[in-house]
């Protein structure tokens, strides 16, 4: 009975944590619907694969199998390709110095937000050398397009499950996009593969053009994204590449900087940059950034 209670508490914890640490709209923080059924299985919302996962050549043991009870396999949430999902980061091709810094920020508690507690535990369970090895492995993988951005008024009706993954509901019902980004897997099982793109992000009409102006000029709201992340927003040195990443993930990070739950190196700089962005601005710039070619 005690074991059952512990498992139940573990299953409900992500819901409580997500709700408590969501200083922004539910669509960005992948806040689970309280009426959502339990996930069918698999990690990170991807579901069972229809074919052997697209494991990359030379993948590290930690990436494939984790490290004992302290560290889960990286590919559980970030997928075997490293492309991730809207509720977990795309770490494929991520700058290794930046990767290492983020792991240290998780371990120190400076980087907060949904799933930060789990990531802190993983970071603490790895040695500095292991973190560097994982960072080097992912940095050498070529970035790829993972999300198709579609400007539209309507999107398939979806739900965010208890695993914080958004999925389409059965049937052909549609719903208003409104001022949000609805990013959903076209085929959930394929997210464990390297099918490109695996996700479609439904965004309000006009978002890409508005976002382009903000990213390239600041739009009168702050500094241009290109000032630090490069003309093509492909990053460099200790500055992460943004182009082509999940728009929901990008929006969540903007809100996290804006509301002070994400701290650490350069966080104060980012907080000032995004301070004046409205919800419409966040949707727009996230949509534009995601529409770009990552390489």
Q: In this structure, what token pair is assigned to residue 171?
A: 């049937």
- CATH 1.10.760.10 domain extents, the chain: 2-34+59-139, 147-291
Tell me which residues of the chain have a pLDDT lower than 50: 1-21, 42-50
Q: Which fold has domain 2-34+59-139?
A: Cytochrome Bc1 Complex; Chain D, domain 2 (1.10.760)
Of the candidates 264, 278, 155, the residue with the CA atom closest to the CA atom of residue 221: 278
**Alpha-carbon torsion 100, 103, 109, 111, what sign?**
positive
CATH code matching the domain that covers 147-291, chosen among 3.40.1650.10, 3.40.50.300, 1.10.760.10, 2.60.40.3080: 1.10.760.10
CA dist., res. 51 & res. 201, Å (int): 25
What is the pLDDT at residue 41? 52
d(CA 32, CA 21): 12
Residue length, the chain? 295
Q: Three-state SS for 155?
A: strand
- Positive or negative: CA dihedral 40, 188, 255, 124: positive
Instruction: Let me know the angle formed at the C-alpha of 287 by 244 and 134, rounded to the nearest 5 degrees.
Output: 35
At residue 119, the 3 state secondary structure works out as helix
Cβ-proximal residues to 225 (8 Å cutoff; 6+ apart), any chain: 214, 215, 216, 233, 242, 273, 285, 289
Contacts of residue 68, Cβ cutoff 8 Å, sequence gap at least 6: 125
HSE-CB at 63 with a 13 A cutoff on CA atoms is: 24
**At a CB cut-off of 8 Å and minimum separation 6, what does 162 contact?**
11, 14, 15, 32, 36, 37, 38, 39
Contact 145, 129 (CB under 8 A): no
d(CA 264, CA 253): 13
The whole model's pTM is what?
Answer: 0.87
Token reading at 214: 């903000």
pLDDT for 195 equals 63
pLDDT on residue 39: 64
Calpha distance 93→56 (Å, rounded): 12
pLDDT at 108: 95
Q: Write down the pLDDT at residue 19.
A: 41
Enter the tokens of residue 67: 């490290």
In 3D space, the residue among 9, 29, 19 whose CA is nearest the CA of residue 248 turns out to be 29
């Amino acid at each position: 009975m005690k074991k059952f209670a512990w498992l139940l508490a573990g299953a409900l914890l992500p819901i409580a944590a997500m709700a408590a640490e969501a200083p922004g709209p539910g669509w960005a923080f992948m806040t689970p619907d309280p009426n959502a059924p339990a996930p069918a299985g698999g990690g990170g919302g991807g579901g069972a694969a229809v074919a052997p996962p697209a494991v990359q050549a030379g993948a590290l043991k930690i990436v494939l199998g984790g490290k004992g009870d302290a560290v889960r396999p990286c590919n559980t949430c970030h997928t075997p390709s490293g492309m991730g999902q809207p509720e977990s980061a795309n770490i494929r091709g991520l700058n290794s110095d930046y990767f290492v810094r983020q792991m240290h920020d998780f371990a120190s508690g400076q980087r907060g937000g949904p799933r930060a507690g789990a990531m802190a535990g993983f970071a603490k369970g790895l040695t500095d050398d292991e973190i560097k090895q994982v960072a080097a492995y992912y940095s050498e993988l070529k970035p790829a397009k993972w999300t198709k951005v579609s400007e539209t008024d309507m999107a398939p009706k979806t739900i965010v499950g208890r695993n914080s993954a958004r999925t389409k509901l059965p049937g052909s019902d549609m719903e208003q996009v409104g001022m949000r980004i609805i990013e959903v897997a076209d085929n959930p099982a394929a997210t464990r593969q390297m099918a490109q793109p695996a996700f479609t992000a439904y965004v309000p009409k006009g978002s890409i053009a508005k976002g382009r102006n903000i990213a390239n000029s600041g739009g009168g709201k702050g500094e241009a994204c290109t000032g630090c992340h490069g003309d093509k927003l492909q990053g460099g040195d200790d500055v992460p590449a943004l182009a082509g990443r999940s728009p929901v993930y990008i929006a969540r990070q903007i809100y996290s900087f804006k509301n002070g739950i994400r701290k650490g190196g350069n966080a104060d700089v980012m907080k000032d940059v995004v301070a004046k962005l409205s919800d419409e601005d966040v949707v727009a710039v996230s949509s534009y950034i995601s529409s770009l070619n990552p390489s």
